[in-house]
Amino acid sequence: MSKLLEWLSALRSLRVLRRSLADRELEIRALRSNIETQAAQIGQLHRELPEHVQRLRTELSNQMAKLEAATDRMSNGLERAGAEAQALRARLDRVAPRFPPLPNLGSDDSAAWFYAGIEERFRGPRESIVQRLRSYLPFVERLRATAAPVRALDLGCGRGEWIELLRGEAVEATGVDENPVIVNACSGRGLPVVRADAFEHLRAQPDGTFDLITSFHVIEHLPTETAVAWLLEIRRVLRPGGMLILETPNAENLMVGASTFYCDPTHRHPVPAELLRFIVEFARFDVVEILPLQPNEPMLDVASGEDWPPTLRELLGGPRDIGIVATAPVRDA
């Protein structure tokens, strides 16, 4: 009986093994079919690959030819532009004004010479400018009571009339201007003038360095926000109680506002007296006085002879410049 049972058990194991072998055979057939399919695809790709490679080579060759043609056209265009620019420069050289070279300035740098020419043409004779600037000397005298000697800095000093006047009054005055033509001219007269941007020069100065900082006909060249930042930097560089003097064209005089203000093409916009006061006070200066300067005397003579009304007298014969005198607060908020 036990032999029969063993035989039946072995028979069942054999049947399971046969089913397993049948399943493996099916899997092998499926795998073989898959391999044959992939082999066929690989064969097809192998046959088509040279054709694809040749097509890509042809396309790349065409693109390179187009790129070379475009490069040649661009190169030819640049050569023509260079030749035209050279011809134009040659034509300009025949008519352009010639200027003597200065240190750090080429003889063909006409911008600095142009502005120096504007200064010379429209600012007025040096002697008359010195005479006008004497209006500020009483304020300088006030500083002598608290500072000896008075240390002064003139920003945008131009031809240096104010520095020359101050040094004649025993004031330690130096100037800053970024125009090399003007700086060279000042140095030729023995005036201590530095070629620099006024804002950058201020930033390099320690706190409380100067007793007096002045700037004549500069603020109208600045954007308003720059002017405020500039004044804040001036206040830092001034000692507490130090003095600020600014001057600008008075556009409330119609002759100035409609004509002479625009003789300087670098002017941005007029700064009326009330706006000037506001900007200075906004920068936390204490305004001492606003000065109406340079009335149009010939026009006032005509106004008197023809009995003009006061408003018309002021509009046409009133001050052509305005000055403002202010002090840095002794105790800063």
Q: What is the mean pLDDT of the chain?
A: 86
- The fraction of the chain above a pLDDT of 70, given in percent, is 92
Tens of pLDDT, residue by residue over 54-71, are: 888 888 788 888 888 888
Give mean pLDDT, residues 141-149: 85
Listed in sequence order, the residues at least 6 apart from 69 whose beta carbon sits closer than 8 Å to its beta carbon are none
Task: Please name every residue paired with 287 in a beta bridge, in sequence order, or none if there are none.
Answer: 326
Quickly tell me which residue has 């240390």 as its tokens.
151
Question: Are 287 and 293 a contacting pair, CB within 8 Å?
Answer: no
Task: Provide the pLDDT for residue 101.
Answer: 55
Average of pLDDT values for 185-200? 92
**Rounded average pLDDT over 288-295:** 93
Pairwise pLDDT comparison (3 vs 310), residue with the higher score: 310
Tens digit of pLDDT for each residue in 240-251? 999 999 999 999
Helices vs. strands in the chain: H and E counts, helices first: 12, 7
Average pLDDT for residues 208-235, to the nearest whole number? 95
Contact (Cβ atoms closer than 8 angstroms) between residue 129 and residue 142: no
CA-CA distance, 128 to 279, in Å (whole number)?
29
pLDDT given at position 100: 57
User: What pairing do the DSSP bridges indicate for beta strands 286-295 and 238-249?
Assistant: unpaired
- Give me the count of residues in the chain: 333
